[in-house]
Amino acid sequence: MSVRDEKKFLYEKVYECLKRDILAGNINCNDFLPSEKEIGDKFEVDRTTVRKALGKLVDDGLVEKRAGVGTRVVMRQYQPDNQNNFRTIGFLLPKSPKKSDRITQPFYSRLFYRVEAECRKKGFSLIYTTLDEDADLFHVVEAHRLSGVIFVTNVSKKFLQQAVDAKIPSILVNGYYEEMASVLCNNTDGAYKAIRHLVEIGHRRIAIIKGMSGYVTCDERFEGCHKAARELGISFEPCDIYEGNWEFDGGYDGARKLFADRENCPTALFAFNDMTAIGAIQGLVEMGRSVPDDVSVVGFDNEYEAAFRHLIPQLTTIDVNIKTMASIAADNIVNRLENKGGYRLKIETPVDLVIGATTKELVKIK
């Protein structure tokens, strides 16, 4: 073993031992850890190794370092409140980088509505709040007297791991974390079906407006695009791919850029969610492009009926089966709360292509 590997091993050993003591309650919240020198002496390691271990505990949200004072435990142990007659579950979304509130977006509002209805049938109430990077998960759980938590979409992994470590009954919806039960649609298959539909009606050059990088949904949908391309004998030009932000303006800006060249541009567009697709259609119309006569457009989520039917022709999109997703999520979290078990599974709901009025067969000029 190299010196570098040995130091890494020692640093992880110190980290795991301290973490185990904190999670077991051997070191209480607000207590200070022994000094770096005392920890180093105990584990027979140097201060650099101790500092690396403490740094990882800070990243986990278990401790905070106070200059000139020491390292204080900040994690509270989750204590199920048997007197909590409210039987409340939290629906926790990451704070949007935009000014808009995510819960007002059709996909999330519909998901919340469905999950809330399922939880109510089982005798639980559901409340919504957001988490930003500086939030205190345990303060949120305690302040709202939450019995369990449904994390939604791209919540920071530090919160997910804190919930796992503290044994807070939790699941993740519309995302994936290997340490936690996760419920999401089959993103790869959905994107595959969208691209296949466009190719089957004659389109060979297809533009893509992605979601924000770092999202599991974005990565899986992009994987589905490439899977379809490989099987159907097409390819995506780098200049035909635009990274959006899941919002209307991302679709609008993307379309304005991707279709600026009137002589040499794609004949079809796949947007990674319906909000992006609607923004793209607006951008195309303002550029003098007709949908679907000039450009066929496919979205993802099937939120047209909920929000856009008075604005545009019916959107061709991918239905994520949100009712099934909500039902599975509610069953899973309630089973955990009622001690009926639960596994760290990735559960994918089926998806379906819904053909609307925004795609049409490409007429080739002879």
Low-confidence ranges of the chain (pLDDT < 70): 1-8, 24-25, 75-86, 97-101, 304-312, 341-343, 364-366
In sequence order, what DSSP letters do the residues of 203-241 get, joined into one string?
--SEEEEE--TT-HHHHHHHHHHHHHHHHHT----GGGE
168, part of any domain: yes
pLDDT computed for residue 101 by the predictor: 64
Tell me if 126 sits within 8 A of 113, measured CB to CB: no
Tell me, yes or no, whether 308 and 225 share the same domain: yes
Domain count for the chain, please give it: 3
H helix and E strand count, the chain: 12, 14
Contact 278, 199 (CB under 8 A): no
Q: Is residue 141 included in any domain, yes or no?
A: yes
Give all strands (DSSP E) within 4-53, no chain letters.
Answer: none
Residue 86, both tokens: 């409210």
Whether residues 33 and 56 fall in one domain: yes
The residue among 10, 129, 16 whose CA lies nearest residue 62 is 16
* 241 located within any domain: yes
89 three-state secondary structure = strand
**Which is it for the CA torsion 236, 241, 246, 247, positive or negative?**
negative
CATH number at residue 306: 3.40.50.2300
Supply the pLDDT for residue 288: 94
CB 137 within 8 A of CB 170: no
At 39 the pLDDT is: 93
Q: What is the CATH number of the domain that holds 30?
A: 1.10.10.10
Question: Does residue 361 form part of some domain?
Answer: no
pLDDT per position as a tens digit, 323-336: 999 999 999 999 98
Residues 327 and 314 in one domain: no
Do 266 and 239 sit in the same domain of this protein? yes
How many other C-beta atoms are found inside a 10 Å radius of the C-beta of residue 201? 16
pLDDT at 23: 72
Interval 198-219: pLDDT, tens: 999 999 999 999 999 889 999 9
| Residue 98 in domain | yes
Would you say residue 358 lies in a domain?
no
Same domain, 22 and 102: no
pLDDT at 310: 55
> Residue 70 pairs with which residues in a beta bridge?
66
- 166 and 136 in a single domain? The answer is yes
Q: Which domain holds residue 123?
A: 88-184+323-347
Residue 360 lies in a domain: no
165 plus 56 within the same structural domain: no
DSSP notation for 160-209: HHHHHHTT--EEEESS-BTTB-EEEE-HHHHHHHHHHHHHHTT--SEEEE
- What's the burial of 204, exposed, middle or buried (CB within 10 Å: 0-12/13-18/19+)? middle
Are 195 and 316 contained in the same domain?
Answer: yes
pLDDT given for residue 124 in this prediction:
94
Q: Is residue 94 domain-resident? A: yes
Spatial CB neighbours of 168, under 8 Å, sequence gap ≥ 6: 78, 141, 148, 149, 162
Query: 60 and 12 share a domain?
Result: yes
pLDDT at 100: 57
